[in-house]
Structures are given as structure tokens and as C-alpha cells.
Chain A
Amino acid sequence: MNALRNGVLSAAVALLAWQILVWVTAVPAFILPGPLRVVEALWVSRESIAINAGYTITEVLIGLALGTFLGAATAIHLASSATARRLALPILVFTQAVPVFALAPILTLWFGYGIWSKIVMTVLIIYFPVTSAFLDGLQRTDRGYLDLARTMGATERATLWRLRVPAALPSLASGLRLASVYAPIGAVIGEWVGASKGLGYLMLLANGRAKTDLMFASLFVLALFTVLLHWTVSRGADWLDRRARGEG
């Protein structure tokens, strides 16, 4: 509870400082609106913000689910085949040298202005953290467990699914914690490059019309959603951790 109180307190101090800065410098609202102005914009444009947030949230959630599924499936496949690892890992690492943001225009070209180019962007941005975290866990199975499985005459398949995968779930969980913070970034970048809906689109639109207060209001909603998403995913990740330790 202390953490929550500290959070509220520090936010209040920051907001107050912001408002005072705006009052003292008398900076025009289109350069820097005060927090009160932002709250006002939030209220006035609530309907538009809600609709656009709905699109972004949909993109993020679908992207997160797909990216997690694809990342986990890749990790399991790579963990179970040395050949796949040899062939695919260098490519996987090389693709990380490509800034994913640079791909956004081409994704729009390929997948259109609709929701799919944003979902693909989200998937691309979380795929690697999920894959690498989970693969790392899958390759670090306690040697003692593997020895035991071997003396028991275990099949490769059962060893993977009943031993290595459950033991690596905490690693998948840390991948998911990261992914939950990255996923909204992916969706918003996708929206910036070409969209007619979503918070990223709204921010760009507001910025272009010098409605900086609306820009901040959209940004606030996006940040709030990211925090909530991270919190929810972290609870799920904690559950995976506890389960793997036998405390769940």
C-alpha cells in the first residue's frame, strides 16, 4: 500500500510542478498545455479517445497473443532440434539488427492500412524477446533432471513437454513481462505510419492541428493502458513462476 501512496504522492508533485511551470512561463497551450487543460481535453474528447483506444487495445491484445504463441512455438521448436537451432538462430539474431520501426512502412504496404499491419508490427516487436527468453530457459534445464529422465528411459518428446517446458515457464514469464511493455509501442508505431484509427493516429492528428492537449490526453490513456497491461501480464507471469516452484 505504501508503494501506491508514494506513487500517488510523486504524481501529484509532478503534476503540480507542471502546472506551476505553465502558469509562471505563460507558455502557449499549443506548445505545452497544463495538466488541467489536458484533463479538460480528455473529458471533451472522451468519446473519440475511447473509440480510438479501443482499436489500439485490440491491436495490442491480438498482437501480444499471436506474438507469444509464435515466440513460444519457435522456442520449443528450436529447443527440440539442434539442426533448426543451427539454421535459424543466426537469422533470428541478424533480424534483431534490423530496427523493426524501419519495417513499419513496408508492413503498411503489405498488410494495408487496417488493423493487420499494426498487429504484425506488434508481433514483430515482441517475438524476439519472447523467443529468446523462453529458448534460454529451455536450454538451461537442470542437468540432474535430464540425467534422471535418461536413466528412466524417457522419450525426447516427453522430456521436452513434461520436463523442459514446465521447468522453463519462469523464463517465458520474464519474456512476457517485457513483451507487455513493448507491445503497445509496436501498435502505436504501426498507427503512426499509416492508419485512420487508434491512439497513435489520434496523437498524430492532434499534433498536426496543434491540439497539443488532446495529444497529451491520448498519450496519457496509452500510458495508463500500458501500465495496466503490464500489471495484468505480470500477475500472470508471477503465477507461472509460483507454479514452476510448486507454490501455485
Chain B
Amino acid sequence: MTAPSVSLRGSVILGGAELFSDLALDLPAARWTCLLGPSGVGKSTVLRLIAGLTVEGTFDGVIEAGDGQPLPDRIAYMAQSDLLLPWLDVTGNVCLGARLRGEAPDHDRARDLIDRVGLSVHASKRPAQLSGGMRQRVALARTLMEDRPVALLDEPFSALDARTRAEMQELAFELLSGRTVLLVTHDPAEAVRMGSRIVLMSRTGATEVAVPPAPPIRANDDPSVLAAQAQLLTRMREAA
């Protein structure tokens, strides 16, 4: 699995007005790109476009992978809500993709991934019996089970408490290494921690924001990380 770079060029017209125009977004191969911006600016629309999902409005532009191969079947998607099916247990949810494609799931692989997200003892529990953090870990295992080179994450950690969020960031970063990741987030701290690139989206377009010199995943208490967070927050407030 070689992760391709992904690029998006284009505009979205929504109800006669432009949601965004002439947006140029590049996701470098096998790196985390964090996309920030005020609510309603079209961050999720960008992610949905790359995922090949329906969006409100009309898209005029191009989305392509750096290697020229088609994208849709190389994408895994993780949303803010865990989207676990309540009637399936953890294993069933992790194996959902195979079942929905009419394939026999690879149970050994599922077991291994459930183990890696630390949920082995909960493998036969239903989502209702798990905490929010555990549920998001199941969603992560399900995303990894798809084994796609591009992962699109739409605020997957935003509903978690601070400590669980930090743990999930580390786990996701480790397990998604080698993949091209787009993380849509509201949280400047998260973006500075995870991003090899940080892109700030506003009504007028997307601008790249400098990241600290250390490679991700960065320590929360590193002075350069803290400074970058503060700077990013200032820019987000100016942009809004």
C-alpha cells in the first residue's frame, strides 16, 4: 500500500452563492494535513468531496490522486459520531465493511486490530455498553480494517474529553502512519499537534499556516507547539 498525495482544485456553488471558490488543497502523501476554519466555511464539504460523498451545492473542479489512479476505493472515512451500528458487537462493527461488500471478513485481522486499540476484552460487547472513548476506538479499528491508503477524518475526536482525546490522537497517529490523512478539526491544539501541514480555510480561500519544526506527533507542552497554537488561534480569529 503506497499512499498517494491528493489534490483538490475547484469551487462549490451553494444556493446561487459560492461556498468557496478557487480552493487549492494539497494533501502530501503519507502525511497528516489538518484543515481548520470557522463553521460553515465548507471544511466538511471538502472532505466529503474527496470521499466521493454527496454534498449540498455543486462542485466545479478536479480531485485527483498524485499517482493518477482513481481515488474512491482507496478511502477510509471516520466521522465525528462513531457511526457504530448499535445492534452489532465490537467485532461485528469492525468487520462491517467486508459484510457490506458481501465479502467474508478476515477475523484474525479484526482480532488483531481490536487488540491494537486495546479493546480485546470488550470484543463481544455492544456499543451501548462502551464509553465514548472506547466507541471512537472501535471506529478507528473499523477504519484501519478497511486498510485504505487515504484516511479522511471529520472531527473524530471533538466529542471526547481532553484526556481521552489526547490518547486517541496518539493512537490514531501511530496506527494511521504511512497513510495520507486529512483531519478536519476545530481545535488549534489538535492541528498543531498532528499536522505535517495545517491549512486554514476562510471565505476568501485557503492559506497554509507554518508548523513547528519538530515532526508530528508533537508534545503538548513543547514551547514551540504552544506558541504555534496561540498564533494559529489568533489567525483563526482574524479569519472569522
Stretch at the interface among A2-10, A67-75, A154-162: A154-162
B155 to chain A, nearest CB (A): 12
In the complex, the chain B residue whose C-beta lies closest to that of A247 is B128
Q: Are B53 and A147 in contact (CB under 8 A)?
A: yes
Question: B52 contacts the other chain (Cβ, under 8 Å)?
Answer: yes
Please report the C-alpha to C-alpha distance between residue A203 and residue B32 in the assembled complex, in whole angstroms.
Answer: 76
Q: Are B100 and A158 in contact (CB under 8 A)?
A: yes
Please report the C-alpha to C-alpha distance between residue A207 and residue B14 in the assembled complex, in whole angstroms.
Answer: 69
Interface size on B, residues (CB 8 A): 28
In the complex, the chain A residue whose C-beta lies closest to that of B145 is A152
Q: Are B126 and A154 in contact (CB under 8 A)?
A: no
B55 to chain A, nearest CB (A): 11
Please report the C-alpha to C-alpha distance between residue A149 and residue B79 in the assembled complex, in whole angstroms.
Answer: 12
Which A138-187 residues have a C-beta within 8 angstroms of B?
142, 144-145, 147-155, 157-159, 162-163, 166-167
Q: Which of B48, B51, B85, B152 is in CB contact (< 8 Å) with A163?
A: B85
Please report the C-alpha to C-alpha distance between residue A225 and residue B152 in the assembled complex, in whole angstroms.
Answer: 56
Interface residues on A, range: 20 to 34
Please name all residues of chain B whose beta carbon is closer than 8 Å to the beta carbon of A147 when the two chains form the complex. 48, 51, 53, 77, 79
Q: Knowing A147-B77, A151-B52, A151-B53 touch, does A245 contact B101 (C-beta < 8 A)?
A: no
Q: Are A153 and B83 in contact (CB under 8 A)?
A: no
Please report the C-alpha to C-alpha distance between residue A190 and residue B72 in the assembled complex, in whole angstroms.
Answer: 57
Question: A246 contacts the other chain (Cβ, under 8 Å)?
Answer: yes
Residue numbers of A with Cβ under 8 A of B are 142, 144-145, 147-155, 157-159, 162-163, 166-167, 243-248
List 26 interface pairs A-B (beta carbons < 8 Å), by A numbering: A142-B83, A144-B79, A144-B81, A145-B85, A147-B51, A147-B53, A147-B77, A147-B79, A148-B83, A151-B52, A151-B53, A151-B75, A151-B152, A152-B97, A152-B101, A152-B146, A154-B97, A155-B101, A158-B99, A158-B100, A159-B100, A162-B99, A162-B100, A244-B86, A245-B128, A246-B86
